Amino acid sequence: MATPINSIRKNVLTDEQLTEQKLDSLKQLVSENDSAVQQILKLVGELDSIGALEAANKMLEAKEEVANIALGQLTSKPVTNMINNMMGAAGALASLDPAVTEKLVGGLMSGVDEANKAVAENDKISTFQLVRMMKDPDVNRAMNFGIHFLKGLGSNLK
């Protein structure tokens, strides 16, 4: 009959054996991924040749100073104003109807094209021509839009 097991002995590896196991697994990883390792080493070599590694090391050494400078710049009045303006503009754009915005931008582009043509031709408009142009449906529509735009803008400027 077999004798009962009274104690379990755990196989404890020495530091040297652990190091040997780690080296063996590292060798296997390198041999399986030799192409990737070569590319990484080439990339690191290029970064070193242009001084990027040295710059990165210096930044890491001065990380507290760099963080203080960055935070100082981010909390400066112009940057906070810019962030607030961008958030306000994003909120305003989010509230606009995309179809209306698309139509408005298309109209602006068309207007810029017409204006560039007129500037290239160097046309002068007389008072009589201006009055006649007001009867043009496109011009009248744009003037109507502009006048009501100015009215809405002015009412919100109070």
**Residues 57-114: tens digit of each pLDDT:** 988 889 889 888 888 888 889 988 999 999 998 888 888 888 888 888 898 899 899 8
Segment 123-137 shows an average pLDDT of 89
State how far the Cα of 32 lies from the Cα of 10, in Å rounded to an integer: 32
HSE, side-chain direction, 13 A CA sphere, residue 115 = 7
Digit-coded pLDDT (tens) for 26-57 = 999 999 999 999 999 999 999 999 999 999 89
Does residue 157 carry a pLDDT above 90?
Answer: no
Task: Say which amino acid occupies 12.
Answer: V
pLDDT at 9: 76
pLDDT band at 1 (very low <50, low <70, confident <90, very high): low
Does residue 19 carry a pLDDT above 90?
Answer: yes
Task: Say which amino acid occupies 132.
Answer: R
Helices (H), 5-158: 15-32, 34-49, 52-61, 63-74, 77-95, 98-121, 127-133, 137-156
